[in-house]
Structure 1
């Protein structure tokens, strides 16, 4: 082999090894000079932060594409990335059970501004694991054999004291972002965070927020108008993630699983929901893409109905990311599927 060819081969090997090494690293540790470095805890915050921050911000999301945030816990590299950022945006309301320890671990020398994006939203209190019973009283009691109030109550303040990553036993529903009306408040909190961290570019942040606000208001209007004309108001979902959407658009969710998608329902609960679906001629059972659809599929077969996707927007799949999907395209798809289910 000629010396020049040997040098070229060595150079190619070095570049290949560097590329492979980079694939194994979390890019959240990267910082951008001259920009507001922002770390977000899950997808909706990441999307809103990018839209509002524009060219002035470098935004990274802790939870990787295709990972269900309920199953995720931070690593030391995530703590390091957040400690070097100017903004750390987390949802709050009990979604990130790890956040208190995470914030305590940032260190006294960290200058990061930690913002709870759900602040100001009227939260849904109570872990309504048995929405079927609460909404349909005597018929649900007969099918399930118990009432929701028979369940042990959570201690006050549990939403903020939970240390794990599951919130199946919390006393607050954290899934605020599934409603455009709550998303508006979250976006406003993110705008305020940018202005506080980088007041020099306040006008740009205000302008970007105004554009996002207009789109969210249009989305809210579409949900209001297009869901209002149906007599059917019940939807059966795999994961109790749509309380805010149902509250704002006068729907009732009947959930197979609780606030955390890994919560296992009891056999009598599944039977009760299957009977309810048959009796009320519910045409579809909704499932989501980041968790296994096995229970929804099983229940749909038992009730002899079809399944549809209702996306809780907790993250993108790799296919959605490649296709260029975002919060708005997924919410539009949710609206289409809700209309099918309410017919």
Structure 2
């Protein structure tokens, strides 16, 4: 399948066309109605949706706002999403600046709405930018230590590290219990299964990455700060936190030099966006490209193949091991 490219210069006409396409069934479940007798949950994007389904189980009806094949930096809600969310009991969003539309969205909800808004990244130690203006102005190569925040001051990509995902899963579980205490034991049991799987994944990342002789990775979009911080790696990115930031030619030259000096063998790109810049840099530095998935959403193919957070994170780990040997 041909994957969607980021384009921030879109016209209102194209926006309307995109909305019509969404409404005619490109994978959005947001038109689904509420279900009586269940906790109705609206989630903003894929990882929260998956965790909410796993913890909510038969007691929950979970609707994901983000259509399949679209990544969250590009998306804003329509009026139908506001109507649906007003009727729900829980609205779960990542926070940390990922969904810039949330404050306006919450204000637009029906005045009688009882929906509880839950920021699921709460409690994760956030990566903040210290000198973002300097990095931006001087075109410095970005790394976890010196984040080019591109007008964001916090890295929102919390879920990409299993350590953060553990915190997020607990927040989701607590919010279910708060709105539906009568099913607390079921939520606790299902949460425990998810928590154990996340702990096992965390331990696997720790033990495997600790063995690697190399610790530097080059990525197209600066989405792996939490993963690199938590497992002792350093990321260098072609673009910043806000993926519309096009690097200048001198930035690519500097990064190509770093790739050669550090003997980096692979440039990572992600599936929901254009791989043009990663391929350009790989060509310049004479190295290969490989996928590192920020799990911002599933492609149509991944959904069809029943991929999930764990299969994709395990593939990320395998690709990191190949790149860091």
Residue 37 (structure 2) pairs with residue 34 (structure 1): yes
The answer as to whether partners of 1:127 and 1:259 remain within 8 angstroms in 2 is no
- Tell me the number of residue pairs that the alignment of Structure 1 and Structure 2 aligns: 296
- Give the counterpart of 1:79 among 82, 85, 90: 82
CA distance in 2, matches of 1:28, 1:38: 11
Rate the CA distance shift 1:320–1:146 in 2: closer, same or farther, 3 A.
Answer: closer
SS in 1 for 2:187: helix
1:4-83 alignment, distance < 5 Å: 23=25, 27-29=29-31, 30-83=33-86
Determine which of 276, 283, 308 is the counterpart of 2:290: 308
Distance 1:22 1:232, change over 3 A: closer
Matched, 1:288 2:291: no
The CA distance in 2 between the partners of 1:330 and 1:180, in whole Å, is 12
User: Is the aligned partner of 1:223 residue 2:187?
Assistant: no
Q: Give the drift of 1:231.
A: 2.1
> 1:335 Cα shift?
0.1
1:102 has 2:105 as partner? yes
Mind listing any 5+ residue stretches in structure 1 that lack a counterpart? 1-20, 134-143, 155-166
The answer to whether the 8 Å contact 1:127/1:172 transfers is no
- 1:278 CA displacement: 1.3
> Using a 3 Å threshold, how does the CA distance of structure 1 residues 334 and 128 change in structure 2: closer, same or farther?
farther
> Partners of 1:130 and 1:307 in 2: how far apart?
30
Maintained 8 Å contact 1:290/1:317: yes
Q: CA deviation at 1:26?
A: 5.5
Shift of 1:261: 2.1
Aligned to 1:125: 128
Q: In structure 2, what is the Cα distance between the partners aligned to 1:308 and 1:128?
A: 30
Q: Secondary structure at the match of 1:124?
A: coil
Asked if structure 1 preserves the Cα contact closer than 8 Å seen for 2:46 and 2:64, the reply is yes
Tell me how far apart the structure 2 counterparts of residues 327 and 269 of structure 1 sit (CA, whole Å).
33
Distance 1:237 1:145, change over 3 A: closer
Rounded Cα–Cα distance in structure 2 between residues aligned with 1:233 and 1:269: 21
Contact 2:50-2:309 within 8 A present in 1 as well: yes
Paired residues of 1:127 and 1:173 also in contact (CA < 8 A):
no
227, 234, 248: which one pairs with 1:245? Answer: 227
- The superposition leaves residues 105-127 of structure 1 with CA deviations (integer Å, 9 ceiling, x where unpaired) of 11321010110001111100107
SS across alignment from 2:273: coil
Per-residue deviation at 1:22?
Answer: 6.9
Deviations 1:165-196 (A, max 9, x none): xx842100111100000000000000000001
Residue number in structure 2 paired with 1:90: 93
Query: Which runs of 5 or more structure 2 residues have no equivalent in the other structure?
Result: 1-22
Residues 315, 130 of structure 1: alpha-carbon distance in 2 compared, 3 angstrom cutoff: farther
**Which residue, out of 202, 208, 211, partners 2:190?**
208
Q: Which has the higher helix share?
A: 1
**Following superposition, which runs of at least 4 residues in structure 1 exceed 3 angstroms of deviation?**
21-27, 127-131, 144-148
